[in-house]
Structure 1
Amino acid sequence: MKMTQHRKRNKDLGLAELIAIALGGMVGGGIFTILGISVELIGSLTPVAIVIGGLIAALAAYSYVKLGLFYRDEGATYSFFKRTYPRSKFSASAIGWFIIFGYISTLALYAYTFSSYAISGTDFADNLWLRKGIAVSVIGLFTLINIWSVNGMGKIEDLMVYTKLIVLALISIVLMTHGTTDFATFVANMALDLEQSSLFSILIVSSLTFVAFEGFQLVINAVNEMTDPEKNIPRAIYSSISMAVLIYVVIAMGALFAIPTEEIVANKEFALASGAGNVLGALGTNLVVFGAILATSSAISGTVFGSSRQMAVIAQDGYFPQILGVRKNKSPQNAIIAMALISCLLISVGGLELILEFGSVTFLLVSLLMAIANFKIRKKTNSSTFLTLLSIFGLSIGGILILYYELTNNWQQMTAIVVIYVLLAFGAWKFSFDKKKKLQHK
């Protein structure tokens, strides 16, 4: 009885903290960037595309939930594949490298977005190196918080996530009620855009919005530090996706009600701040900036927390340097520091847009692989054959559409992404080859 109570006391993360971690990873800088791209392609149909994108994310989440409950492994994506296909050591190593680099790229983007908003209203807004310096500093801050305390990180994440949701929702509702477009006009615009846009365009945008839902996987990385995983893993993941869909739709409608579409396209991630400024003046702009800073802050914190634990598991298996698998008080502090340092290096050298696109393709690809793995052991995970096949189909279509979009809009960037994959695959092969040699000598 005493042992059970002791173990419960060591489980620091409840449902509220887990939802906050997932939403922290999802509602970051992605929605602000995606808003401009979506409006440019399909106009007022953007909320429809967001809902479809949320359904794609829910399909991906289905396999993550089933595999997460079956394996109970904080290595999540990497560990699920490794344990489902135990003989495919290079494949497991490659997935580990791809997923970790994907998290590092989004971490760098969140920090850069944070710094851009933080100085957006000052005379230093165009100072590139000041933006990079602030981005590096904010990563350092949340690295220290994650090293300091799991429980402390969870409580801070709660505060940031739920505050940002209230701020962003409030601003969006005010924009909807005080904007130049009323509901009847908005519906008419949707009908007009539906005539001008093809279903193909809507599905492309829906696939692109998958980027804004990456983060729900971070819940599984906390399996060893949560209470009641059987109930809290599915509750946290599905609740966070539903809440993200809701807040994204409200943000999109707020922007579309109050801001001309050409201004949204031109300003992209700053469009909401501009629109709030037109309606509410300086107060509106400051509130959006505050909400964006909270959004990126919580995304940084949640991503550092979850991805560092996955990196530690991969290192313990010999596919990253062993030192990254060392833990202190159950916390993978070396992995946390490594994630921060590499992200800061990416910020320093630039090219974040390219790295973000790599992350987008990577997260959709590995989600597809998780659905395939779940299909293989669907009887063990007690999964629905229909839902698992539907997940594979939906994620496959989404991946094809993203690749089509990249190839037709920026084939040079697509080429660069392929080069990154080749380099990461070489690193994964080197570590898997060295591990194989060590096993042979034993």
Structure 2
Amino acid sequence: MLGAGVFVVFAPATAAAGSGTGLLIALAIAGFVAYCNATSSARLAARYPESGGTYVYGRERLGDLAGFLAGWAFVAGKTASCAAMALTIGVYLWPGQARPVAVVAVLAVTVVNLGGIAKTARATRWLVAATLTVLVAVTAVGLTTGSADASRLADTAGTTGYGVLGAAGLLFFAFAGYARIATLGEEVRDPERTIPRAVPLALGLVLLVYLALAGVTLSVLGADRLAASSAPLADVVTAAGLPALAWLVRVGAAVAVTGVLLALVAGVGRTMLAMARRRDLPGALAAVHPRRRVPHRAELLVAGVVIILVSLGDLRTAIGFSSCTVLVYYAITNAAALTLGRDDGRRLPVQPLAVLGLVGCLVLAATLPLGSVLAGLAVLGVGALTHTLIARGR
């Protein structure tokens, strides 16, 4: 979660919300919907600790079509997310050569992931530490140099309810990562205990970080300048009168987003593995390396598709499309959670949160930019048709 979202998504979200106050409200809405989704994901993951996430939950609780659409939405949306992550690395690290840098980043994280999940986790820990260092530095610079103006947080001009919901949908891109541990369920020790604790804890900590960064960024840049920025955190340091530190922030951002890309490619590969095992994708993608125990063919395919997307695509378009399809994915998660009883002895209020999460996902998806919604619906339609044809062929 501490990756491309915190470094780039505040800009398009502010443009959609229309004001600084609108951005903060949208962030709270996105965080609440993410919490509902995280609760449902954690309960389902504890019940079904295997690779695939909602693809598995949908099949088990709602039927083959729902499971397939969840897996299809996840693979499509998260592949777009991978492209957005890689392009973010390029935009921050070398703006004039963003696409070639993005391709190199994809190749590098694929090599690490092919080494096994233990190496992925170890590399991610170092990258998270670097990320937090950068975010703390930006916050300190923004608050201690006299460039922050708290009155900018109270700006409400241009705020509309529809715009705030659309901004929340875009901001959801920054939260979508809390369930990564669920998609890696087969490789988690003691999943029934670990997953329900890890998912909401990670989400809560990240929400606090986002609120702090959003407040600092808005108070330094203001809504108009933030909405037009391509590298907001670097612009915060520059506006604070320390342009020499901007490149350190850019390098730190590239390192941080590399960490997210690392985990994201792993998650998409595991979902493709689960779908291939059930013959919803070509069986060749179900291959697992005999020594490293990773779905190497699936991860190589993901890398190839992402390289094509970063060569042809656009950062903000990738964010919108990813948010739409991933919100549909989590809508199916909540629908699956609604079928869970309380026979497992847990006391979490799953049913009300699952209802709120389901409604929230559908509302936020519907208020995204029209192009993103239409593209998402088209991809889901193709998926449904593909599943129907495969089922008839069988």
Count of aligned positions: 390
Q: Which residue of 1 aligns with 2:134?
A: 167
CA contact (8 A) 1:219 1:233 kept: yes
Aligned with residue 253 of structure 1, among 215, 218, 221? 215
Cα distance in 2 for partners of 1:348, 1:276 equals 30
CA gap 1:68/1:152 in 2 versus in 1, 3 angstroms: same
TM-score (norm 2): 0.91
Structure 1, residues 101-143: CA drift from partner, whole Å, max 9, x if none?
A: 11111011111111121113xxxx1xxxx43222122111111
2:393 pairs with 1:430: no
Return the offset for 1:69.
Answer: 0.6
Return the offset for 1:272.
Answer: 2.0
The one-letter code matched in structure 1 to 2:376 is I
Return the offset for 1:201.
Answer: 4.4
Q: Which residue of 2 aligns with 1:157?
A: 124
Cα distance in 2 for partners of 1:398, 1:221 equals 19
The one-letter code matched in structure 2 to 1:177 is T
Return the offset for 1:357.
Answer: 2.0
CA contact (8 A) 1:80 1:370 kept: yes
Q: Which residue of 1 aligns with 2:20?
A: 44
Find the residue that maps to 2:114 and give its secondary structure.
helix
Return the offset for 1:285.
Answer: 0.7
Q: Which residue of 2 aligns with 1:316?
A: 277
Which region of structure 1 is more displaced relative to structure 2, 232-241 or 61-70? 232-241
Structure 1, residues 135-165: CA drift from partner, whole Å, max 9, x if none?
A: 1221111111111132222111100012111
CA gap 1:347/1:202 in 2 versus in 1, 3 angstroms: closer
CA contact (8 A) 2:58 2:333 kept: yes
Structure 1, residues 407-439: CA drift from partner, whole Å, max 9, x if none?
A: xxxx345333332322233333333333xx2xx
CA contact (8 A) 2:147 2:240 kept: no
Structure 1, residues 152-184: CA drift from partner, whole Å, max 9, x if none?
A: 2211110001211121122122212224334xx
Aligned runs of 1:236-275 on 2, under 5 Å? 236-267=198-229, 269-275=230-236
Cα distance in 2 for partners of 1:417, 1:71 equals 27
CA contact (8 A) 1:66 1:383 kept: no
CA contact (8 A) 1:168 1:251 kept: yes
2:328 pairs with 1:371: no
Which region of structure 1 is more displaced relative to structure 2, 341-350 or 210-219? 341-350
CA contact (8 A) 2:88 2:315 kept: no
The one-letter code matched in structure 1 to 2:28 is V
Return the offset for 1:211.
Answer: 1.6
Aligned runs of 1:293-332 on 2, under 5 Å? 293-328=254-289, 329=291, 330-332=293-295
Cα distance in 2 for partners of 1:221, 1:397 equals 22
2:107 pairs with 1:140: yes
CA contact (8 A) 2:153 2:218 kept: no
Higher CA-based Rg: 1
Cα distance in 2 for partners of 1:97, 1:398 equals 17
Return the offset for 1:297.
Answer: 0.1
Q: Which residue of 2 aligns with 1:95?
A: 70
The one-letter code matched in structure 2 to 1:44 is G
Aligned runs of 1:192-231 on 2, under 5 Å? 192-193=155-156, 197-198=159-160, 201-231=163-193
Q: Which residue of 2 aligns with 1:417?
A: 376
Find the residue that maps to 1:148 and give its secondary structure.
coil
CA gap 1:164/1:351 in 2 versus in 1, 3 angstroms: closer
Which region of structure 1 is more displaced relative to structure 2, 378-387 or 70-79? 378-387
The one-letter code matched in structure 2 to 1:343 is V
Which region of structure 1 is more displaced relative to structure 2, 92-101 or 306-315? 92-101
Which region of structure 1 is more displaced relative to structure 2, 32-41 or 69-78? 32-41
Unmatched tracts of structure 2, length 5 or more: none
Cα distance in 2 for partners of 1:136, 1:192 equals 39
Q: Which residue of 2 aligns with 1:400?
A: 363
Which region of structure 1 is more displaced relative to structure 2, 385-394 or 151-160? 385-394
Aligned with residue 285 of structure 1, among 246, 249, 254? 246
Aligned with residue 55 of structure 2, among 78, 85, 88? 78
CA gap 1:199/1:391 in 2 versus in 1, 3 angstroms: farther
The one-letter code matched in structure 1 to 2:72 is W
The one-letter code matched in structure 1 to 2:297 is N
CA gap 1:242/1:283 in 2 versus in 1, 3 angstroms: farther
The one-letter code matched in structure 2 to 1:255 is T
CA gap 1:352/1:306 in 2 versus in 1, 3 angstroms: same
CA contact (8 A) 2:12 2:227 kept: yes
Q: Which residue of 2 aligns with 1:64?
A: 41
CA gap 1:413/1:230 in 2 versus in 1, 3 angstroms: closer
CA contact (8 A) 2:182 2:195 kept: yes
The one-letter code matched in structure 2 to 1:136 is V
CA gap 1:84/1:52 in 2 versus in 1, 3 angstroms: same
Return the offset for 1:383.
Answer: 5.9
CA gap 1:378/1:361 in 2 versus in 1, 3 angstroms: farther
The one-letter code matched in structure 2 to 1:291 is G
Cα distance in 2 for partners of 1:412, 1:218 equals 27
The one-letter code matched in structure 2 to 1:171 is V
Cα distance in 2 for partners of 1:65, 1:304 equals 21
Cα distance in 2 for partners of 1:348, 1:243 equals 34
Unmatched tracts of structure 1, length 5 or more: 1-25, 438-442
Aligned with residue 82 of structure 2, among 104, 107, 119? 107
CA gap 1:273/1:210 in 2 versus in 1, 3 angstroms: same
Cα distance in 1 for partners of 2:58, 2:345 equals 17
TM-score (norm 1): 0.81
Q: Which residue of 2 aligns with 1:4?
A: none
CA gap 1:145/1:53 in 2 versus in 1, 3 angstroms: same
CA gap 1:192/1:326 in 2 versus in 1, 3 angstroms: closer
